[in-house]
Amino acid sequence: MVFAFSLARRRWCVLVVLAAGALAHAGADGKLPALRELPKEVPYVLRTVYLEDPRLPTWDFAQRSLLYARLEALLAQWFGYTVKITETGRHDLATYFARHGPVFRRHAEMIAKVRIDIDQPGGMERTRQAISMDFRRRELAQIDGYLRLGGARTHTEAVEAAAAQFERNFAEIRQIRVGDGDTFWSPVRPELNSYPHWCALQYDTTEADFILTNTMIVGPDAEMPIYVISRGGITLGNTNNNPHTAFQGTTVVGLFPFLSDAPYFLRERGRIPEAERMEAVAMLCLHELGHLLVRCAEYYDHPHCVHVAPVRLEVLSWYRALKQRGPCRLPHQKVSSFSSAEANRPPRQLLGSVLCARPF
Ligand SMILES: [Zn+2]
Ligand SMILES: [Zn+2]
Could you give the CA distance from residue 77 to residue 82 in angstroms, rounded to a whole number?
9
* DSSP, res 49: E
Q: Classify domain 5-354 at the CATH class level.
A: alpha beta
Q: Which residues contact 215 (CB under 8 A, 6 or more apart)?
A: 51, 53, 56, 93, 192, 193, 254, 255, 256
- Closest ligand to 303 CA? 2
- CA–centroid distance, 163 to ligand 1, in Å, is 23
- CA–centroid distance, 199 to ligand 2, in Å, is 26
- Closest ligand to 325 CA? 2
- CA–centroid distance, 20 to ligand 2, in Å, is 13
10 Å CB burial of residue 87 (0-12, 13-18, 19+) is: middle
- CA–centroid distance, 79 to ligand 2, in Å, is 12
Compute the radius of gyration of the chain from its Cα atoms: 18
- Closest ligand to 288 CA? 1
Helix, strand, or coil (residue 221): strand
- CA–centroid distance, 109 to ligand 2, in Å, is 36
* DSSP, res 302: -
What's the maximum distance between 2 C-alpha atoms anywhere in the chain? 54
- CA–centroid distance, 205 to ligand 2, in Å, is 30
For 78-115, the three-class secondary structure string (H helix, E strand, C coil) is: HHCCCEEEEEEEEEEHHHHHHHCHHHHHHCHHHHHHHE
What's the Cα-to-Cα distance from 335 to each of 300, 313, 348, rounded to whole Å?
16, 26, 10
What's the Cα-to-Cα distance from 38 to each of 35, 241, 294, 298, rounded to whole Å?
9, 15, 7, 18
- CA–centroid distance, 194 to ligand 2, in Å, is 29
Helix spans in the chain (H): 61-74, 93-99, 101-106, 108-114, 123-135, 140-147, 155-174, 195-204, 226-229, 256-259, 263-269, 274-292, 315-325, 340-343
- CA–centroid distance, 173 to ligand 2, in Å, is 31
- CA–centroid distance, 328 to ligand 2, in Å, is 5
- CA–centroid distance, 17 to ligand 1, in Å, is 8
- CA–centroid distance, 288 to ligand 1, in Å, is 6
- Closest ligand to 328 CA? 2
Q: Phi/psi of residue 80, each to 5°?
A: 80, 15
Global pTM value: 0.88
- CA–centroid distance, 333 to ligand 2, in Å, is 10
- CA–centroid distance, 21 to ligand 2, in Å, is 17
- CA–centroid distance, 182 to ligand 1, in Å, is 31
- CA–centroid distance, 354 to ligand 1, in Å, is 16
Could you give the CA distance from residue 300 to residue 217 in angstroms, rounded to a whole number?
21
Could you give the CA distance from residue 169 to residue 158 in angstroms, rounded to a whole number?
16
Element (H, E) at 46: strand 44-52
Residue 250's nearest CA partner among 293, 215, 281, 287 is 293
- CA–centroid distance, 305 to ligand 2, in Å, is 4
Helix, strand, or coil (residue 127): helix
Sheet of strand 10-11, all strands in order from the earlier edge strand to the far edge = 10-11, 16-18, 298-299
Rounded to a whole number of angstroms, the distance between the first and last alpha carbons of the chain is 26
- Closest ligand to 322 CA? 2
- Closest ligand to 329 CA? 2
What residue ranges do the domains of the chain occupy? 5-354
Residue 222's nearest CA partner among 309, 146, 129, 159 is 129
Which pLDDT score is estimated for 128? 98
What is the block-wise mean pLDDT of the chain (360 residues), using blocks of 10 residues?
49 30 42 92 98 97 98 98 98 98 96 95 97 94 91 93 97 93 91 96 97 98 94 96 96 98 96 97 98 94 93 96 95 86 33 31
